[in-house]
A and B are shown apart, each in its own frame.
Chain A
């Protein structure tokens, strides 16, 4: 069972990214029922879970808090239950937009006997990148630094020179990750997913 962790600030496009990836994985494996999405939302009621389940995929939800802060125990229990009942090939996990991925990885790694690997995909909102780097730099940098794959999203809404500047800044923060400018809403080239899967 592999865990794909979708990191990124609020509104960056994580849910849209998960929808794109889940369709790729479903066609790749031919077994959509072997993919489970776990959604963690700060609010008391889930929205992303409803969007994903309306497409026919299995979704579990953790609400009213952040798993890297207050819901760590609930998350571990959720992962264990999914493994016991469903033994999926992939769990796609969307934490809240204010979560620190390294904290989540540490929680997951405590239960590594059932996890084959953790891949972190970080989605960046290019429209708000500079603003968010001013408002909450530690969080944005942490989300970038922990990624295996970085998608600089909404590149269709930002001019090319600004995208180039973002790519440069992001690549300085994380030299190892694969980095792509994308517009998730316009579709993602499957070659990008193949970089990490």
Chain B
């Protein structure tokens, strides 16, 4: 049973009033092997995927949804990049040589977990956001 919340006068934020059912997170995942037409540096991939994550952050914020987490992992040629966000900015780490190498093929795994949204809406939103970004180039 959830506790009863006393609504205070003043600013009402939708995020404060999720029912326990709505607090069940929705999940959208991508797990793909990407083959690019032209090789790109790790630094370029980092910038592109960071933009995707930032776009998801902005979408969730605009809709008043709460991000559980966004996680991304790219690996190729024994190098990897890991990015994560909880909606407060994107934290990116990588193996020492990832940024300077060039990649034509790589694997990308991304998991987006958001509270307050249905699985269907989350899926549609993410697919729209990445339409013009490199995940489509498989």
Closest to A137 in B: B3
Task: Let me know if A131 is at the binding interface, CB within 8 A.
Answer: yes
B109 with A135: CB separation less than 8 A: no
A127-185 residues with Cβ-Cβ distance < 8 A to B are 127-128, 131, 134-139, 157, 185
**A11 contacts B86, CB within 8 Å?**
yes
List the 9 closest pairs (A to B, CB-CB), nearest first.
Answer: A11-B86, A11-B69, A10-B68, A43-B111, A45-B31, A43-B29, A10-B69, A47-B73, A47-B71
Please indicate which of the listed interface residues A47, A125, A137, A157 has the most CB atoms of chain B within 10 Å of its own CB. A47
Tell me whether B69 and A44 are in contact (CB under 8 A): no
- Given A45-B31, A135-B16; A10-B84 close (CB under 8 Å): no
Q: Looking across the interface, which residue of chain B has its beta carbon closest to that of A54?
A: B80
- In the bound complex, do residue A47 and residue B109 qualify as a contact, i.e. CB atoms below 8 Å apart? yes
A138 near B20: Cβ-Cβ < 8 Å: yes
The A interface is mostly helix, strand or loop, or mixed, namely loop
* B31 close to A127 (CB less than 8 A): no
**From DSSP, what is the main secondary structure of chain B's interface residues?**
strand
A50 touches B88 (CB 8 A): no
What would 15 A/B residue contacts be, using CB atoms closer than 8 Å?
A10-B25, A11-B84, A42-B113, A45-B29, A45-B109, A47-B71, A47-B72, A47-B111, A50-B80, A98-B68, A128-B86, A131-B66, A137-B2, A137-B3, A139-B23
Is A94's CB within 8 Å of the partner chain B?
no
The answer to whether B16 touches A134, judged by C-beta atoms less than 8 angstroms apart, is: yes
Given A134-B15, A136-B23, A128:B69 Cβ within 8 A = no
The answer, yes or no, to whether B54 is at the interface (CB within 8 Å) is no
Contacts of A88 in B (CB 8 A): none
Q: Does B59 contact A (CB under 8 A)?
A: no
**Residues of B18-59 whose CB lies within 8 A of A:** 18, 20, 23-25, 27, 29-31
Contact B69 A135 (CB under 8 A): no
Residues of A in contact (CB 8 Å), total: 28
Contact yes or no, A98 B25, CB < 8 A? yes
For the complex formed, measure the closest distance between the CB of B87 and the CB atoms of chain A, giving whole angstroms.
Answer: 8
Q: Is B106 an interface residue (CB 8 A)?
A: no
B135 within 8 A of A: no
A185-B71 Cα distance, complex, nearest whole Å: 16
Q: How far is the CA of A83 from the CA of B128 in the complex (A)?
A: 45
Q: Is A127 a contact of B109 with CB atoms below 8 Å? A: no
Q: Let me know if A97 is at the binding interface, CB within 8 A.
A: yes
Partner of A131, one of B2, B15, B25: B15
| Bound Cα distance A65, B11 (Å) | 36
A178 shortest CB reach to chain B, Å:
25
> What is the minimal beta-carbon distance from B115 to any residue of chain A, in angstroms?
6
Chain A, range 84-120, C-beta contacts under 8 Å to B: 97-98
Tell whether, in the assembled complex, residue A43 and residue B20 are in contact, meaning their CB atoms are under 8 Å apart: no
B73–A51 CB distance below 8 A: yes
The residues in A between 56 and 74 inclusive whose CB is less than 8 angstroms from any CB of B are: none
